Amino acid sequence: MPCFLAGSEIIRCEPYSWCVRTNRLSDVCSFCIKQKKRLQFCEKCSVAVYCSDKCQENDYVNHRLECSLLRSATERLDTTTRFCIRTLTLKKREISLGRITRGEKFRKTLADLVAPLWEGDQEDKVRNAKKIFALIQNRMKVTLREVLVCLLQLHVHSIAVEDYKGAPLGRGLYLDQTEFDHSCEAESRVGAHFDGKIFVLRALQNFRVCSLAKIRMSFVPRSLPVMRRQELLAQEFYIQCECASCLAELQVCRRENAIERCLRDLLSADIEMERKFSLTLEILPKCEGRVHSYYLSKVYGNLASFSNSLGRYEDGIEFAAKALQYEGDLRLVTGLFEELLYAMNELEWNDFRKSNFGLFLDTLQSHKRLLESRLGKDHKETERVSRVYFFYLTRSYVSSKMTSLHEMLREKLSFVSARLLLVARVAMNGEGGVASKRTNSR
The one-letter code for the residue type at 88 is L
Domain boundaries, the chain: 3-219, 258-347
**CA 357/CA 255 separation, integer angstroms:** 45
Check: pTM over 0.85? Answer yes or no.
no
What would be the CATH architecture of the domain defined by 258-347?
A: Alpha Horseshoe (1.25)
Per-residue pLDDT of the chain (442 residues; tens, 9 = 90+): 778 888 899 999 999 999 999 999 999 999 999 998 889 999 999 999 999 999 999 999 999 999 999 888 778 899 999 999 999 999 999 999 888 899 888 889 999 998 776 655 678 888 999 999 999 999 899 999 999 999 999 998 999 999 988 899 999 999 999 999 998 888 778 999 999 999 999 999 898 888 888 899 988 888 888 888 888 888 888 888 888 888 887 776 666 678 788 887 887 788 888 888 888 888 888 777 778 888 888 889 989 998 999 899 999 999 999 999 888 788 889 999 999 999 999 999 988 888 888 899 999 999 999 999 888 888 889 999 999 988 888 877 666 655 665 566 666 666 666 666 766 676 776 655 544 444 444 4
